[in-house]
Homo-oligomer: A and B are copies of this chain.
Amino acid sequence: MDKYNFKRLPTHIGIIPDGNRRWAQNKGFDKKDGYKFGIDPGVELFNLCSQIGINEVTFYGFTKDNTKRPADQTKEFRNACVESVMRLTHTDCEILVVGDAESSLFPEELLPFTKRKKFGKGGIKANFLINYGWEWDVSKYDKSVRKKGFINNIASSDISRMDLIIRWGGRCRLSGFLPVQSVYSDFYIINDFWPDFNAEHFYEALEWYEGQDVTLGG
Contact surface of A with B, Cβ cutoff 8 Å:
63, 65-66, 68-69, 134-135, 138-139, 141-144, 149-150, 171-176, 179-180, 182-189, 212, 215-218
Among B66, B138, B144, which residue has its beta carbon within 8 angstroms of that of A150? B138
A141 to B180, CA, bound (A): 14
Q: Least Cβ distance of A65 to chain B in Å?
A: 4
Tell whether, in the assembled complex, residue A173 and residue B187 are in contact, meaning their CB atoms are under 8 Å apart.
Answer: yes
A179-B180, A183-B176, A184-B176 known; A150+B135 contact, CB < 8 A: yes
Contacts of A142 in B (CB 8 A): 143
A66-B218, A150-B138 known; A175+B184 contact, CB < 8 A: yes
Tell whether, in the assembled complex, residue A141 and residue B141 are in contact, meaning their CB atoms are under 8 Å apart.
Answer: yes
A171-B212, A183-B179, A187-B172 known; A63+B139 contact, CB < 8 A: no
A185 to B187, CA, bound (A): 13
- Which of A173, A182, A184, A185 has the most chain B CB atoms inside 10 A of its CB? A173
Among B138, B173, B188, B212, which residue has its beta carbon within 8 angstroms of that of A184? B173
- Which of A175, A180, A188, A217 has the most chain B CB atoms inside 10 A of its CB? A217
Residue of B nearest to A63 (CB): B217
Contacts of A179 in B (CB 8 A): 179-180, 182-183
A149 to B134, CA, bound (A): 11
Contacts of A184 in B (CB 8 A): 173-176
Tell whether, in the assembled complex, residue B182 and residue A215 are in contact, meaning their CB atoms are under 8 Å apart.
Answer: no
A104 to B166, CA, bound (A): 39
Contacts of A150 in B (CB 8 A): 135, 138-139
